[in-house]
Structure 1
């Protein structure tokens, strides 16, 4: 299993033009199925701030869509894609940030091509796991055996390691983050892992204890800081600049963390309804 140390844009620039439209369609359909399951489980409302991003494009032929949601249990959910598939690039997101009523890790999922296939699946920590050993023992240690199995039994996978120290700091110890040729072998494994990831996460949510009310505001503030920092410090934002321009990219980044949100935060829903 080889390993390289590059940014997304370096992988894309070093490869010749490759049409990844078929893989993009596979990723988009997978994420759509998972998003439908989430919508069945949670009460969600489309945030008006993302309506302007329903259909956007750039002069290079790149295009995209961002839909954001929130609700009583979900603070912020992003269902999005950006692609210039004919030129070898696509990115499909489903990220789900829970409200502070529970302390279950957030759901992270992004699939892409540049032009190799790429997968990121993670349970985004909400605490420092070296001190919060309860969260580590509940949510990360049980996944470690599967993480080892995937790494040891799939020689076609190449670990994706970003040059950005901040990106590496944001990964949990059981993050699935790989590249591989965008072929049936990879898409089959990614589909299996993504469905497992959602099943496991939904089970965690259903079994979680309620966070004491007096602790929820601080947890909500930490959650937003994590989300904002991840969005704003992502080195792959340069791909947005390249395809859509700096102004649209900044709007996209704000959509990822909720900078222009209209609907209330998850922990504010009760107060909002009582007005």
Structure 2
């Protein structure tokens, strides 16, 4: 099995700069469509703390970005964002949805990256101990095991990405998809199909989920926030934001990813 062990900045620095605007725009449409699908199920309100991040940077020429975060009765924190400079071959897009404590369904995590090769990640972020709670594992990960193995066998163009940061490796479930790949038409279609299927699967989980007892919700919400904050703050790819925008704006963006400056309250039962 092929494997990538480089840091993101190494991958960027070791490849020629080319314009990836066309693929970037395609991925913008993909994630916007998936966000709309999620919005059709959940009540969402834009948190005012990200209003001025709707567009930042230099616009059409140079590093730019956009970050919008939403919350609602059943969604703790949903982030739809991108950052980069497509004209020079680097852009990173995110769509992540962190559920409230009313259910234990895994959170939805997804990201797309051009450097200028392609990279993608999609996972159901666990809400507890997968080894200690076998029933939870079986409910959300056992069924995904065989398709995950089949993908590795059937898609030789995709190279498994191993983060050089142990904490990030620990944040992945056993059935996470995390691959780099040549951004050819067939591969782009494969990624789009997989992300769409994962969003539909996640929405299905929500519809059939058991309700968490009220007495357990505050503890679950507290854990969710710790996990979200740790992942945002420890992401080694934050160095790319610092390169483009400096430490102050980068810290603001990281806080926005986990809700550090949020204005609207968390879902009922979170406190």
TM-score range, shorter chain: over 0.9
Bigger drift between 223-232 and 148-157 goes to 148-157
For the residues of structure 2 that align with 1:174 and 1:162, how far apart are their CA atoms? 15
Aligned length: 270
Superposed counterparts of 1:19-34, under 5 Å: 19-34=19-34
**Aligned partners of 1:27 and 1:112 also within 8 Å:** no
Following superposition, the deviation at residue 183 of structure 1 comes to 1.4
Give the Å deviation of 1:267.
2.2
Structure 1: how far apart are the matches of 2:33 and 2:184? 20
Give the equivalent residue in structure 2 for 1:194. Answer: 195
Partner in structure 2 of residue 38 of structure 1: 38
CA contact (8 A) 2:120 2:177 kept: yes
Q: Find the aligned partners of 2:177 and 2:18 in 1 and give their Cα distance.
A: 25
Distance 2:240 2:176 in 1: 23
Kindly report which structure 2 residues correspond to 1:1-275, keeping only aligned pairs within 5 A, or say none: 1-57=1-57, 61-267=62-268
Partner Cα distance (1:182, 1:259) in 2: 34
The 8 Å contact of residues 58 and 243 in structure 1, kept in 2 or not, is answered as no
Instruction: State the Cα deviation string for residues 193-232 of structure 1 (Å, max 9, x = none).
Output: 0011001000000000000000000000000000000000
RMSD of the alignment, in Å? 1.4
Unaligned runs of 5+ in 1: none
> Residues 226-253 of structure 1: CA distance to partner in whole angstroms, max 9, x if unpaired?
0000000000000000111111100100
Question: 1:74 touches 1:98 (CA, 8 Å); kept in 2?
Answer: yes
Unaligned runs of 5+ in 2: none
Q: How does the TM-score come out when normalised to structure 2?
A: 0.97
Question: 1:26: how far off?
Answer: 1.3
Q: Quick one: distance in 1 between partners of 2:221 and 2:188?
A: 35
Determine if contact 2:214/2:269 at 8 Å carries over to the other structure. no
